[in-house]
Amino acid sequence: MDPNEARDPRLIALAQTAFAVALYLALVIACFGILSLLTDTDVVDIDASLLLGPAMIGTSVVIVALRIIGAAVRLVHEREHGDLALRVPIVGGLLTGVLALLGYVVIGGMLQAVGLRDPEVLVGFALHELLRPYSLALGALAMIVHIAFVVSIALGGDEPKRPLWPWEKD
């Protein structure tokens, strides 16, 4: 099979979606590590379960994945109907960032409130986490990944080809 042969754009978009979500998770983990090192603070700086941080990050990853899947489906549909215009989704990226940020702090607050059996903790924890650099970085990364993903899909054209490994290139 010729490596330059055009593939089904839906499969290519699906593969790019998986890579974009994995990229987002890797960027969040790296960013949290760097921020923790630079600020000499913990990501979750209260006495909480060890699973609270991963659950909060997992929630934001799921939100970003759903938003990116929606964008991919919409873009592939537009491409199949002949709309090849490149639109940079600033509003869509901003919405993805805000939703990832809200999911991160709200799930964290809910889990902390359930763990302590105190519903008043929800708002306090959510507000505390909302003002920390970790949550702001998480939202900014979600926005950047969403915009970069949509632009990369749009630049593929109406018949995208799969990426080639260096040894496959002529």
Q: Exposure pattern of 132-151 as b/e (b: 16+ CB <10 Å)?
A: bebbebbbbbbbebbbebbe
Contact between residue 60 and residue 100 where contact means Cβ atoms under 8 Å apart: yes
Question: What integer is the mean pLDDT of 65-70?
Answer: 95
**pLDDT tens by residue, 72-111:** 988 888 877 776 667 778 999 999 999 999 999 999 999 9
Contact between residue 159 and residue 7 where contact means Cβ atoms under 8 Å apart: no
Tokens of 103: 């999911």
Give me the residue spans of the domains in the chain: 9-159
The overall average pLDDT reported for the chain is: 86
Examine the pLDDT at 5 and tell me if it is beyond 60. no
Examine the pLDDT at 31 and tell me if it is beyond 60. yes
Residue-level pLDDT at 159:
60
pTM of the predicted structure, to 2 decimals:
0.85
Residue-level pLDDT at 45:
80
Examine the pLDDT at 1 and tell me if it is beyond 60. no
**pLDDT tens by residue, 105-153:** 999 999 998 988 888 888 988 898 888 999 999 999 999 999 999 988 8
Neighbours of 114 (CB within 10 A): 12
Q: Of 81 and 59, which is predicted with more confidence?
A: 59
